[in-house]
Structure 1
Amino acid sequence: MTRAVVSHIPVAGMPQLQLQLLLLLLCGCAAPRAAAVEVLAPAISPPSGCYEGEVGVTVTRRQPDADTYYTLDGSAPTRRSRRFVDGAELLLNSTGHYVVRAVAYAAPTVTGAAFTASPVVLAEYNVTSPSLAPPVATPPTVGQLQRGPLAVTLALAENTTSRANLNIQLLVTHLPSLSTAVAFDALPSAPPDGKWRLHDGKAILLDRPGTYILRARTQDASVSPSKYSRHAIFLYRLQPPLMYDVSTECCDDPRRPVVGHVFTVWLSSALWPASLFLSISAKGCENERHILDDTGKVQADWRQVAFPFITYTEPQPRVFVCVKEEGSPGYVAVPRRIPLAERNGSVENSFAVAPNMHGVNPKLGRDREGARPPPWLHPVLPASASKAHANTQRELGWIIAVTGATVLLAVTLYMRGRHLWGHFFGGSPRLSRGTTHPDEVQCPTIK
């Protein structure tokens, strides 16, 4: 540490204390500088070397308040370079020579100070052509949303099927979110070799909504240690399955006489715009036939989930819900949401329209060939959003029209009254209220 020795120099007109403070400021010793923050360099793994087929590189920061950046083009990494996401894996699977440079930056502890950089670290990798081809998947990865569940099969590539002692190892990672980036260098890193499992030849069932990352590789067990092909990565994004439920709108209440079957179909996880209809045949959805009596095709409004129906048909033991979503080539039968305790080991896609169910009053029942009930017996079904909006606009128009007519009538009566008043009293109402003529004005007498 350098100390400044200040001698007592008498200066006319300046106190001794102020003179010492001035000399300290001139020497630069008044305020100490902020200590520089030391940033630890990140760690790159695996170590440099020659790898066959591919190599997965990870950059790990060594302190929590730092961010890591890397380059592959030979330039020095800065804060403008690409940031490495924690837990990601940089997959180098093309034949060639790679140089990975990484640096860590820590935020300043003093406001206005610059970011502090760590030393730059690098690792070099030589990736050679693989002798084993990776497995293939059916269906192949496409990245867009699909309806689950989905069964994926894995098989060896064509040029490796004739070789013995070849196995397929796989690793399935599930993420509950659908917002996973499609870029493969931003995917979560693969676990160590011990967590890969041997493929048993059966289809891989993906049955949960979210994002599935399926990694597969070919293993040559005839050599020791085993040789592996590069990883084949397949990305599947599954949305919740399309299902429906049905509820009763009214019950067998004598005070609410209802003739007909009244019920509501509830859809979940549908892609809009969508349309649906009810069919009494298992193949009615494919052929768009056998539509339930007194119902028809319904075009769903945006995000509509409830669809009310009423039918006067005879009891129907099986009614299917047929839905056509956006981008779908045709209608499909939608499975019904049934609790596991009520399934009895089977999945039933239909529901029943029978007496004493869905709003049928047995006291007011009638035959199919009988006359339709009078209008006052029809239940009032809730209107759709578009119809309700149209009714509201129509009522508002009537209110505006009646209000305008009332105002116009009031103005007309007022103008007519002014005209009659002036006709009978010889002038406007304002001038006829005891107004004195100018010639009749009497001047006061001053005595």
Structure 2
Amino acid sequence: MQARSSTQQYLTGILSWLYRAFDAVATWVTQLSWWKFLLFACLTLTAAAILQEELFNGPAQEEIARAEREAGRRSEASILIDESGIRFNPRNRPRSEPAEPPATPATPADPAHPDASDAPRPPMPPNPPAIGGSGVNIHPGDDSVHIELPPQIGEELSNAIEAAVEDAAEQKVSRYHKQASTWFMNFVLLLLLALFGTKALVGGKKRADAEAQVANAAAEREAMQRQLSETRMQMMQAQVEPHFLFNTLASVEHLIRVDPPRASAMQRSLIQYLRAVLPQMRDNAVLTGLGREVDMVSAYLALLKMRMEERLTVDLQIPDGLRSAAFPPMMLQSMVENAIKHGLECKPEGGTLRIVAEVADSKLRVTVTDDGVGFGVVPSDGTGLGLQTIRDRLKLLHGDAGRLHIGANSPSGVIATIEVPYQLSKQA
């Protein structure tokens, strides 16, 4: 039982190794394009032809033929042809036949055996008569035969026998090489045919599996990148706080003492603003509708209008058809806050804030323009991360297709423009 178990394990290991080898070869073949496979087949056939020429039609064949002739000469029987005739001497005597005993010399007559000298002796075999001046001599002691021939006939016979032996050896070697050459080329052709069948039959499945694995890996990477982008954008969005909120509450508290009706109106505007802002801040969507952003900014500007009164003029140019366009949340709010805080609020006479939305070259373009004090007139007490946060969010959302451009307005103020690909939002 133990031996059978070890044999089964050995066979299982061999089959497993063969399967892995076949799978590796199939994978390699299927990864080649058809023109590369044809180039590989041509190179293989060329190399096989060169190797066939070197192995079966080159100097090696002559060496094998020479060895065959030498082997023919060193056969079991030794035949020597010289001027005296033909000498035949068998070299391989069967072991079952005992060697002929040597002839015993004649002994003198023993007196104790008077009949010994008179015993008849076996007759000696007579030499065969010579035919045409030649004769055959047989030596019983070593089974050798000597056939006497004229010198000219012996030489011609020797040459004829050598030529016949060489021709037979060459024909034998030629048949061997021709057969081996045919087997070699057939093996190469069968190998290429097997690779072709593997590529044609297994290639589709291998390619489909490889494409499926690549697609799954790409989907996983995209999902992970998407989750990372959403997490980063949520963290950025959580940092966007309406910094004017505390100022507005302080203004409400002050107006309650000096102008209660106006304080009540500001409180209602603040409630309206919070109703627009809080759902947006709780929403985890990476894109929202431009209409929702405009409504939130309108509530914010209404509060500022109550604080700045005639110092603030608002001009909204948002077509109704673009309210459903997709736009990153809280981004327009940040741009408006920067325009108010760094441009109009610090200007004694105030100014105008204009928001324009349009579509150009398949891109949604939202521009926030103010005619405030402009760049660098009033030192900023902020962190300077607002605009950088907008750029980072646009990069995560749209790559190179989304951008933020900041420029100077004439005669004063700043123009800030956001461009994103135009598409409809799932949230109006």
Normalization by structure 1: what TM-score? 0.17
Structure with the bigger RCO (C-alpha within 8 Å, sep 6+) is 2
> Whose radius of gyration is greater, 1 or 2?
2
**Structure with the largest fraction of strand:** 1
